[in-house]
Chain A
Amino acid sequence: MAGGFDTQDMLDIYLFENGQLLERLQEIVLEEKDEECFGEESINEIFRAMHTIKGSSAVMMYDEVTKIAHKLEDVFYYLRESQPEHVPHMELVEHVLQVVDFITSEMIKLQNGGNADGDASDYVAALDKFLTDIKSGKGEKGKKIAENVHEEPKHYYIAPVATSASRFYKIYLTYQPDLQLANVHAYKTVYALKEIAEDLLHYPEDIISDESAADEILENGFKILLQAQVSEEELHEIIQEGYDIEKVEIHECAANEFLQGFDSFGTEIRIDLESSIEEIEANAIAPGDYVIKPKSEADEKAKPKIAPGDFVVESKEPGKAKKLAKDKPKKQEKTAYISVDVAKMDMLMDLIGELVISESVVLQNPDLKVPGLKLDNFHKAAGQMTKISTDLQNVIMSMRMMPLTNTFQKMNRIVFDVSRKLGKDVEFEMVGEHTEVDKNIIEHISDPLMHLVRNSVDHGIESTEDRQAAGKTEKGKVTLTAKTESGKVWIIVQDNGKGLNREKILEKAKKQGLLDPYKPDTAYTDKEVYQFITLPGFSTNEQVTEYSGRGVGMDVVVSNLQSIGGSLEIESVPGEGSQMIMKIPLTLAIIDGIVMEVGNSSFVIETGAVKEFFGVREDMIITDPDGSEFVMIRGECYPVLNVGEWYKLQNYKADRTQGMLVLVEIEKKIICLFVDRLVGKQEIVVKPIPDYIKKVKGLSGCTQLGDGSIALILDPAGLIE
């Protein structure tokens, strides 16, 4: 172990960097787990990440981490350099994830002050074996492919999109005769054309793995059939004669000519644009032996000689450039982040609050009210200053906000793990993962979300057999959606599984004595029934699995959500799936509040809780013998709480007709607060009441208003108690 001098800073950086690398790694792997192999870029990125981890771990002298990172680096080095054809992709994905897990667990140990003492030898051995396998597999297969190509040259053909604006071109490229790796240069051209191509066909078709293609290209030239909405001039701009290309010939041709392809050449194998996905779906290959052999003999047999033009697949989005099946979508620009101490952020926020207040002190200074002053320039400058300070405020607010992307990404991993373990085929979709939420909130929802997602895969999605029997698609689907609605963030976990079983839940609830014996079962609404599953110790699952069914969890989910002011709603349609809707506030630090005055004090109440305001007439108030007051509104009777009396304030208005009633609803309970005056609606920064003052019932915090004065935040739930 590294020791003897202060390594804490180094360790912090090491952990931080590796944490980010591992996160990114996992993201890549999960992104491409359904592809047939990793893209070139991803291989490079994984290789680099492992290289970095290996290096830094060696410096820190964490040998096991170094060893395992080194091994995985070896594997990817091989993949990068030799580009073997037949890599069991699923197996590789598993290996990478295992390594990520191992290193992550070591990181956690280190973070908690422990030692990285895990034993990686099993993983290293497994990786060794894997590497040997793919190495031996390659030699054999690679030979086969080469033969195939020589016997029966095929054309990779992407089904054309017939749009009127499309034009067809025949392109002949002649390369410099002494050019090395002509196939790579050809690929470069194809790659550039893919950006604009609606359809692209080239010969020789295998320019990536088949080295003999290079000679072919040099000898006979490289031929491309292109369908695109570009002019000949534009094409010339893309493909320019240079140090590699000796001559470029571009001929425009008719559509049918285009469909006939390179007439002088033999068979054409068509690969339409969706082929890889469809193949995957149609074959529904059991996970594990997930090997796609696009150029194997089997494929050729399955697709006998097809007359050109037989299968013209209409693209769903005409005019949009299509990509080859192996193509990866362009990587998004990674945003650069720096991590900042949250305490500093809070300080900054306080300062800006202060700035805004002192600004209003300056701008509304009594000195300015002296008659006869010429203040035109002052007001101009003041206007500018106000604008800047408002912008500044907005930026600070947005700095606390983080997209849910990372959280959602983690769920992807969970779906992957759980579905593999349970042998279910589950697709995972994310919608609106860029929705931004306050950082504190993100920390709070991660666990509940994980639980809901796990539940969906485990309980929600049926086994493949059951799905077949029910006539559903074999692949289950879990959708994670985030959106902002009515000032809250909704996070929805949706599955297309079997849905909740109302009868089963009712039965169980009865057994546990949760039902009102005088109420018939039918009197419970679906929503009420589904809410039972959020009670502690409630699970209808007969079998306890590794992941769920112990009946702890849903109650924890709900209590976690409630602690941040969120709620959980459950919707379900038997046979079609269920939806868990989490509604959480955007932020804990800033709330939208109604400011009101009672006597000399200001109070704030969260806007969400307020249903309406109204003035009252004397005859609407009913007083019972205990002195409690009630108010009749539209035939309903609600209790009234006089804030001034309750807190024994001074100078509050005793006359009911002078003040305002605020109708507050929280968790289906309604209470009316009697206040003197409403001031307005405002976004407020929530601050805790100093600990020195003991907790007061009904007050959840305090805040400063625009004029610098302090208002107390009323907690409706506390008031109702």
Chain B
Amino acid sequence: MSDYDTQQDKYVTFKSGQEYYGLKIQYVNEIIVFQEITEIPESEDYIKGLINLRGKIIPVIDVRIRFKKEPIEYNDRTCIVVINVKDTVVGLIVEKIAEVVEIKEENILPSPSLGNEDKAQNRYVYGIGKVGDSVKLLLDPEKLLKDEDLNLAEQANEEALIEGE
């Protein structure tokens, strides 16, 4: 059993709007309470700014705005999920953190190509996980950060590496 990955099939779920979303636990570094965000001028609207994570400065994005939903006021339940996608550390602002659930491979259905969900959201959901009676929309964090963004970040990283050498 020692080889068994305890993180296998575990998902961190959070609530945004009426839906619950799931993120593979491997991507999640930590969950922190909401903190003061420093705005960055001239950046995309969903990039809320920078936070200071124990001396490390990381960008945070608002998942709601990313899904093209109306922004809401942040409150006590608002959390920041710090994820690490291919060495890009980003904080996700979510309305409410739910729980860690286990979703077996067989309980995951591919994302329906035609759904009544908002299109913008669909791009980031790669599957739907069934947990008992409820469903969790499973997010692909790479796509969440990506479209143009992660590509740029990757490029910048590579450039930085080349310069560093």
B38 near A709 (CB under 8 angstroms)?
yes
**B55 contacts A692, CB within 8 Å?**
no
Q: A647 contacts which of B41, B52, B54, B89 (Cβ < 8 Å)?
A: B41
List chain A residues, Cβ under 8 A from B156: 691
- Tally of contact residues, B, Cβ under 8 A: 29
Pairwise interchain contact B41-A704, C-beta atoms closer than 8 A: no
B145 at the interface (CB under 8 A from A): yes
**Chain A residues with Cβ under 8 A from B109's Cβ?**
none
With A690-B50, A710-B50 in contact, is A350–B59 under 8 Å at CB?
Answer: no
Stretch at the interface among A483-491, A653-661, A694-702: A694-702
Pairwise interchain contact B88-A354, C-beta atoms closer than 8 A: no
Hey, which chain B residues are within 8 Å of A690, CB to CB? 50, 57-59, 88-89
Q: Is the CB of A601 within 8 A of B38?
A: yes
Closest CB of chain A to B155's CB: distance in Å? 9
| A647 and B42 contact, Cβ closer than 8 Å, known pairs A689-B57, A691-B156 | yes
Is B47 close to A, CB under 8 A? yes
B153 near A702 with CB under 8 A, answer no
Q: How far is the CB of A480 from chain B (nearest CB, A)?
A: 29
The residues of B that contact A694 with a CB separation of less than 8 Å are 43, 152
B40 lies within 8 A of A712 (CB): yes
Q: Which residue of B lies closest to A346 (CB)?
A: B55
Check if B57 sits within 8 Å of A601, measured CB to CB.
Answer: no
A719 to B20, CA, bound (A): 44
Task: Give every chain A residue within 8 A of B59 (Cβ-Cβ).
Answer: 690, 692-693
Q: Which residue of A lies closest to B157 (CB)?
A: A691
Return the contact of B88 from the options A691, A697, A704, A710 (Cβ within 8 A): A691
Candidates B41, B43, B50, B54; contact of A702 at CB < 8 Å: B50
Residues from chain B with Cβ under 8 Å of A692 in the complex:
47, 59, 88, 90, 145, 149-150, 153
Considering the chains assembled together, what is the distance between the CA atoms of A709 and B38 in angstroms?
Answer: 7
Q: Does B33 have its Cβ within 8 Å of any Cβ on chain A?
A: no
- What residue in chain B is nearest A643 (Cβ atoms)? B41
Provided the pairs A691-B157, A693-B47, A709-B38 are in contact, do residues A350 and B52 lie with their beta carbons within 8 angstroms? no
Query: Is A67 positioned at the interface, with any CB of B under 8 Å from its CB?
Result: no
- A709 and B52 in contact (CB under 8 A), knowing A692-B145, A696-B41, A702-B38? yes
Given A692-B90, A692-B149, A692-B153, the answer on whether A710 and B38 have CB atoms closer than 8 Å is yes
0 or 1 for each of A637-670: is its CB under 8 Å from B? (1 = yes): 0000000001111000000000000000000000
- Measured between alpha carbons, how far is A704 from B51 in the docked complex, in Å? 9
Quote the shortest CB–CB distance from A585 to chain B (angstroms): 19
Decide if B160 is an interface residue (CB 8 Å cutoff).
Answer: yes
Cα-based distance from A353 to B55 in the complex (angstroms): 7
A309 on interface, CB distance cutoff 8 Å: no
A413 interface residue (CB < 8 Å to B): no
Q: Is A394 an interface residue (CB 8 A)?
A: no
B39–A600 contact, CB under 8 A? yes
**Which B residues lie within 8 Å of A711 (CB)?**
38
Bits for B41-82, please: 1 = Cβ < 8 Å to A, else 0: 111000101111011111100000000000000000000000
Please tell me if B165 contacts chain A, counting CB pairs below 8 Å. Answer: no
> Which residues of chain B come closer than 8 Å to A693, judged between CB atoms?
40, 43, 47, 50, 59
In the complex, residue of chain B having the shortest beta-carbon distance to the beta carbon of A351: B55
Contact with B along A679-695 (1 / 0, CB 8 A): 00000000101111110
Q: Is the CB of B42 within 8 A of A697?
A: yes
Known interface pairs A691-B156, A691-B157, A692-B88; A350-B55 also in contact (CB < 8 Å): yes
**Bound CA–CA A350/B50 (angstroms):** 16
B74 to chain A, nearest CB (A): 14
Most buried by B among A354, A691, A697, A712: A691
Contact flags (1/0) for A554-566 with B, using CB distance below 8 Å? 0000000000000
Question: Which residues of chain B have C-beta atoms less than 8 A from A710's C-beta?
Answer: 38, 49-52, 57
Bound CA–CA A599/B55 (angstroms): 24
* Per-residue contact bits, chain A 607-647, to B (CB 8 Å; 1 contact, 0 not): 00000000000000000000000000000000000000011
Per the bound structure, the CA–CA distance linking A56 and B157 in Å amounts to 39
Distance of A696 Cα from B47 Cα, bound (Å)? 13
11 contacts between A and B (CB under 8 A): A351-B54, A354-B55, A602-B38, A648-B42, A649-B39, A690-B58, A690-B59, A691-B153, A692-B149, A704-B52, A709-B36
Given A350-B56, A692-B47, 16 more A-B residue pairs with CB atoms under 8 Å apart are: A351-B54, A353-B55, A647-B41, A687-B57, A691-B157, A691-B160, A692-B59, A692-B153, A693-B40, A693-B47, A693-B59, A708-B36, A709-B36, A710-B38, A710-B49, A711-B38
Chain B interface (Cβ within 8 Å of chain A)?
A: 36, 38-43, 47, 49-52, 54-59, 88-90, 145, 149-150, 152-153, 156-157, 160
